[in-house]
Amino acid sequence: MTEFSANLGFLWTELDLPDAIRAAKGAGFSAVEMHWPYETPASEIRTALDETGLPLLGINTVRGNPGENGLSALPGREAEARAAIDQAIGYARETGARSVHVMAGFAQGDAAQTTFIENLRYACDAGPELIMLIEPLNRHDAPGYFLQGSDQAAEIIAGVGRDNLKLMFDCYHLQIMEGDLTRRLDKHRDIIGHIQFASVPARAEPDEGEVQYTHLFEHLARTGYTAPLGAEYKPRGQTEAGLGWMSALSSAAR
């Protein structure tokens, strides 16, 4: 049966993070993940994780200044980018998080790519026991974001040359940018470190829109993918009211 991870950047946002972890456990999630948990003491996160037995799959590096969306592909901002990476690695170690999403930021061009690759090498070497993730974002939600496609991500991962750098395959973003999700999952299977999902185009519960998640999750199950899939969607109302998709999709993927 397919397992799911609750992204607490979008789910149970009315609760503080420790209580959101407990709510995820009560709802039947097998793991949790977070965006920017740094205002919550790591000890409180660790206590809630230990209490519930849920693993923390990952956290993000900070966005930077207001209006920014990451720092690691910004030429001239290397010191800030690496401070953000160090912060995330430290927090991950304290909480037991398994991965860090190194956010690229708004940039373009060869200098941005070189900067991103160098900062990713730094991240991978600074946290060798962690998985470092990079995630393409779609041009509608994040216009100007440096990383916008799965093939671009694969090229960067190859250029970095570190085994602990992987692709965050977000079905929502990649359906908007590229489509053909089943074949893209197969093509990039060896470099995928985590998979996230939401409906397209609304980014709501995965029970509407243009992506047939029953098919996608059945395909993943047939090909032996067993890691929890990240529910990173924006609920239409209260989180609990929209969780009917969980039993439908987990049963479909047996």
- Partners of 7 in the β-ladder: 33
Chain position carrying tokens 């009917």: 244
Please give the Cα distance from 124 to 73 (Å, whole number).
Answer: 15
Mark whether 135 is an active-site residue.
yes
Cis before residue 201, ω within 30 degrees of 0? yes
Token pair for residue 153?
Answer: 């991500």
- Of the candidates 3, 78, 135, 208, the residue annotated as catalytic is 135
108: number of Cβ within 10 Å: 12
- Of the candidates 14, 68, 232, 240, the residue annotated as catalytic is 232
Mark whether 44 is an active-site residue.
no
Q: What is the dihedral of CA 68, 72, 76, 82, to 10 degrees?
A: 110
Q: What is the DSSP letter of 57?
A: -
Provide the annotated active-site residues.
135, 232
